Amino acid sequence: MLGAIAIVGYPKAMNADPELALQKLVAALEFHLDACRQKRSGVDENLERAYEMVEDAFLNYEEALAAAHDEYLPIALAEDE
């Protein structure tokens, strides 16, 4: 699964279709799980990329949901310290 999503990638631009944005969020979460399973010691670039993909997909879904339905998610991203 890692290779397939890494090739497709995720644009940073917001997608106005909440269903498509949700599908991309689920795919990003699956990619993250695969990256966790294959984690290497030290700094793992695949895991870093997976984290960024989840963050981008989450924000895109949140924006699409708000634009289409004026609704928001009951969760927030963790802030960097």
Q: State the pLDDT at residue 14.
A: 54
Q: For the segment 5-56, what is each residue's pLDDT rounded down to a tens digit? A: 433 454 444 558 999 999 999 999 999 999 999 998 888 899 999 999 999 9
Tell me which residue of 61, 71, 73, 64 sits closest to 22, measured CA to CA: 61
Q: State the pLDDT at residue 63.
A: 95
Domain count within the chain: 1
**80 found inside a domain:** no
Structure confidence at residue 65 as a pLDDT band (50, 70, 90)? very high
CB atoms within 10 A of CB 60: 25
**Cβ(38)–Cβ(46) under 8 Å?**
yes
Alpha carbons 21 and 27: distance in angstroms, whole number: 10
In this prediction the pTM is: 0.76
**64 found inside a domain:** yes
**6 found inside a domain:** yes
Q: State the pLDDT at residue 78.
A: 84
Structure confidence at residue 76 as a pLDDT band (50, 70, 90)? confident
